[in-house]
Structure formats: structure tokens, C-alpha cells
Structure 1
Amino acid sequence: MDIRDLRIFLAAAHEGSLTKAAEKLEYVQSSISIRIQRLESKLNTPLFHRGRQGVRLTSSGEALKSYAEKIVSLMNEAERAVTDNSIPRGPLRIGSLETTAAIRLPFILADYVAAYSEVDLSLRTGTTDELLQLVLTYELDGAFVAAPIEHPELDLVEVGAEELVLVAGERLPSIDRPERLRDLTLLVFRAGCSYRRKLEDWLRSNGIKPAKIMEFGTLEGILGCIHAGLGVSLLPRSVAERARATYNLRYLDLLPDRSWTVPTLFIRRSDAYRTAAISEFIRISSERFGPS
């Protein structure tokens, strides 16, 4: 099998569309289709179910995907190992939580880019669960996530910690005990967010079911709705402090007997070659993350 065919196959599998795969790889769609058809012919099995909504993997395609990810990753690793001469350079794909990207990451990136201009650094945000999967499937070289994380294929480095606080806007009435949260809306990131999971677990342990849960894809969306008095959220104190004046935030002192300090971890695949670029990124992140 040609490594280019495997890259094309993986792009189609990840995008769920031959058109999007062609755009991502800067190929014409007909070329993508032909190469996948040739790969299917060579393997004597269909790799995709094709429909109006795009493509999805067959059982054979799923089996090939796991091997293709490893093969392509090893090829990339080989190129890096040969060309890596201890000077950080080349592509570096980093993932981050929305909250980390908003407060901690700008200072880390500023120091890193100033020191290593030859590194082509790209950033992708998501929830802890989303970033975990992207690292495991070799789509990210590393990512900032919230603890706890346990996985035999990952290396974990604790780079800092966040103190979580329950926040509301000035428009909400006073909330002096947990039971009052039953009448409120939780403003949270989509499923897979570790902070959301921590809040929901705490409410469940206190027998509290919130009136409604609203999911958001961005931190700005959550902060704006807190300001408008739509509900409450659990956020890092560093985020709340930065946004306190702009969004008229106030903390709810309902959790005095509970630890809400959560370590921030940088995760990467343990079988991935540790380039100079990522080694220096981890070092600067650990030094620059800052206090909770």
C-alpha cells in the first residue's frame, strides 16, 4: 500500500466526506475517489459506505483505520527522527481546553514563538474527551486536558492546576445554599468536558437536579449568558477573575468543604518520538502556566 493512499483514506475517514478530504489535502475530488477505489480493489473489500450525507467506514475500513494511523504516524516519526537535530523546528499540533486557551496559553505561546520561530505551531480546542481521542489517533502531538486521566498509551505531565469556582451574574438572585440550584440553568461546555462532569457529579451527590442544562462550544458564550442572568457555571478562578469586571461575575460560596483544585495535564502518546519542538513546549508550559 502506498503511504499517500493511506493518508487519503484517513482524511476521508476523519472528515466523513470525500469532498472535505480533497479540500483538506488540496487534491481534486476525482483523484481522491480514484485512489480510494484502487485501495478497495487491492484489498478486495469496500472500505466506506457511500451516501448522500458523505461516507462512513465499513467494518473493514474500521480495521484498516487503526493500522493506517499507526503506519502514517511511524512514517512521520521516522522523518522527524532523521531530521531532528535538537533545534525545535517543523510542525507542532497542540490541543487545549477552551479555558486554558483563553487564559494560560497566550503567555505560553508568546514565549515559545519568540524563542522558536521555525516551529509551525497549530492549535485546536475541545473538551478533555475530544482532545484525548485526537492525541490517541495521532491527530495532535499533545494537548492540555484536565485531570484525572489514566491511559496506558499516554505520557502525562502536570503543568499546573486550576481552582474551580461556581459563578453567576449580578442579575440572578442571591444563592445561599445548594438546593437553590434546582431552579437554575447550568451553562456548560458540551459532553466530554471534565469541569462539567465534576459539577454534575457534585449536584447528583447532593440530590440536586438542575432545571435545565445549556451546552456551549465557546467560553465567550458561557460568560455572556452568565452575564445575562441565564444560569450558573463552574469555571477556573483564573477565567472568572479575568472576566469578572466585564461580565459582572460573582462567586457562589456553596462548596466550603470540598476540594475544587484540578490539575492541568499535558498529554502525548508514549510511543511517539519526543522531538525537540515538543520537549521545549512542555518545558515552557510547565514554567509559564502560572499559579491557580
Structure 2
Amino acid sequence: MDIQLLKVFFTTAQEGSISKAANKLNFAQSNVTHKIQQLEADLQTQLFYRHNRGITLTPSGQTLITYAEKILHVIQEARLAVGDAAVPAGQLHIGSLEATAAVRLPALLTKYHSEYPAVDLSLITGPTEQHLHGVLHYELNGAFVSGPVDHPELVQENIIEEEMVLVTPLSHPPVQSIHDIQLRTVLVFPSGCTYRSKLSQMLQEEGISPEKMMEFASLETIIGCVSAGLGISLMPRSMVAVSEQQGRVRCHTISDKHAVAQTVFIMRKDTLMTPALSTFLSEMRSHFS
């Protein structure tokens, strides 16, 4: 099987369009079409349905896409493996929850960058679901996510446990239970966020229906809106500790099963342990020990 044909197929499937694939690969559309036809002839099966709206993977194409992703990743790993194994260098893509990135990682990243300047480290923040997808599809070398994670293709390493608190305006009276909350608007991160899921589950278990759920992508925006009296939120105490000390918000302890959030570091079981990743793991373990 020709690797270039496989790459064209994989890119076309990802882009969902021959024209978009051609643009990404810097090929003519006719060239992309021809290479896909070559691969279909080689495999003696149709890989795409062609229709007015574009293209869709056939069952054979859906089967091949999983193998193509793994094959192309192994080729990339092979290139890395035969390089200079003594010096950490090259790209390293790490995912993280926003809370972990903002509070727990700056010192670690600063030290790592100082000691291994040849590594091009990228930190991508987002919810757990996004990072699970990124690690499973070889887009990330590893990620800090909410745990525990149970997946046959992943390994996890416990990092920290976060105390979860209800966050209200400073003027809000003490909260002994979730029923004492006076504001019925909840402020949350986008879908896929574990903190959002915890808050929704906690309210549902207590039979409380929020009047409105407002979604924000920024931590500072949520804290600012809570401070202004717009609503309440559920976050790790470490994320709002500074704002609480500044007198912007008030934090309330919760004492049930939702009071703790676990953060773990995940990787694929078949991840190539490059010098860049190996040294990052060593620094991470030392930092959180």
C-alpha cells in the first residue's frame, strides 16, 4: 500500500472534501481524486460515496481510516525514533484543563522550557472530552484531565486532587447546603467540562432546576460575572483563591461526593517515549511529588 495514497485518503476523510484536502496538501483537485481512485483500485473497494454535498466514507472507508491514522502515526514515530535520542528536541503537544494550566503548570512549564529550550512545547487548554479525543487520535502526546479515566488504549497517572467549592458573590450569605443558594443562574464552562457536569449532577440530585445556565469560555469572565451578582459557579478552590483573597467572590465548602475533583495525566499505551516526553514526565513527577 502506497503511503502517499494513504496520506491523501486520510487527509480527504479528515477534511470531508476533496477541494479542502487538495488545498491542505497543495495538490490539484484532480490529483487528489486520481490518488483516491488509485487506492480504491489497489484495495478493490470503494472508500467514498460521492454526492452533491461532497463525499462520505463508505463502510470500507470507515474501517480503513482507523488503520490509516495508526500507520501514519507509526511512520512519524519512526522518524523521531531514528533521530538524536540523546537531546530532548522537537515538538511536544500537551493538553490541560484550564484550571490546571492557570494554577498548577506555570512553574513546571517555566522550568522545563529553561532546561530544554530545544523542545517546542505547546499547551492546549480545554475540557476533558476534547483532550481524550486529542490523545486517542495522536494529536496530543499527553494531557492533564479530570479523572479517573477508564479506556483500554490509555494509561493514567494521578497528579492532584482539587477541593471543589461553590462560588457566589461576596454579599451572598453562608451556604450550608445547595438549597441555601439564592441565585438560580449558574455560570459554567463549555460542554465537556467536568466542573460543569459536577454542578449539573449536584443540582439534579437535589431536585433543583436552575433558571438559566450561561456558558463562558474564560475563567476570568465567570469570576467577574459571579462577582457582579449574575449567578453562581462550581470550581476548584485553587482556581478562585486569589479572587477570594481580593474580596471579589465568596467560596462555600461542599461536603458530599462532589467535593473533590481528581486530575490525572493520560497518554496512549502505545505512545513513543521520545526524549522530550520522557524529560517532561520526569519534571512533572518531581513537580507534583
Q: TM-score under structure 2 normalisation? A: 0.85
- Which whole-Å CA distance do the structure 2 matches of 1:123 and 1:239 have between them? 18
| Cα distance change of structure 1 residues 209 and 149 upon mapping to structure 2, 3 Å threshold | same
1:216 deviates by: 2.7
> Counterpart in 1 of 2:275?
276
| Cα distance change of structure 1 residues 104 and 8 upon mapping to structure 2, 3 Å threshold | farther
- Which whole-Å CA distance do the structure 1 matches of 2:27 and 2:182 have between them? 54
> Counterpart in 2 of 1:138?
138
1:246 deviates by: 6.4
1:251 deviates by: 0.5
| Cα distance change of structure 1 residues 246 and 60 upon mapping to structure 2, 3 Å threshold | farther
Matched, 1:45 2:46: yes
> Counterpart in 2 of 1:206?
206
1:145 deviates by: 0.4
- Which whole-Å CA distance do the structure 2 matches of 1:48 and 1:182 have between them? 55
Unmatched segments (≥5 aa) in structure 1: none
8 Å Cα contact 2:183-2:231 kept in structure 1 = no
Q: TM-score under structure 1 normalisation? A: 0.84
8 Å Cα contact 1:167-1:232 kept in structure 2 = yes
> Counterpart in 2 of 1:263?
262
Unmatched segments (≥5 aa) in structure 2: none
Alignment of 1:1-292 (within 5 A): 1-17=1-17, 21=21, 25=24, 27-28=26-27, 30=29, 32=32, 35-40=35-40, 42-43=42-43, 44-47=45-48, 56-170=56-170, 173-174=172-173, 176=175, 177-181=177-181, 183-244=183-244, 248-253=248-253, 255-258=254-257, 260-289=259-288
- Which whole-Å CA distance do the structure 2 matches of 1:19 and 1:288 have between them? 47
Work out the percentage of aligned pairs sharing the same amino acid: 43
> Which is worse superposed, 64-73 or 155-164?
155-164
- Which whole-Å CA distance do the structure 2 matches of 1:226 and 1:273 have between them? 44
Aligned residues: 286
| Cα distance change of structure 1 residues 40 and 174 upon mapping to structure 2, 3 Å threshold | farther
Secondary structure of the 2:107 match is helix
Who wins on radius of gyration, i.e. which is larger? Answer: 2
Opposite residue 225 of structure 1, the aligned amino acid is: C
- Which whole-Å CA distance do the structure 1 matches of 2:6 and 2:22 have between them? 14
| Cα distance change of structure 1 residues 289 and 50 upon mapping to structure 2, 3 Å threshold | farther
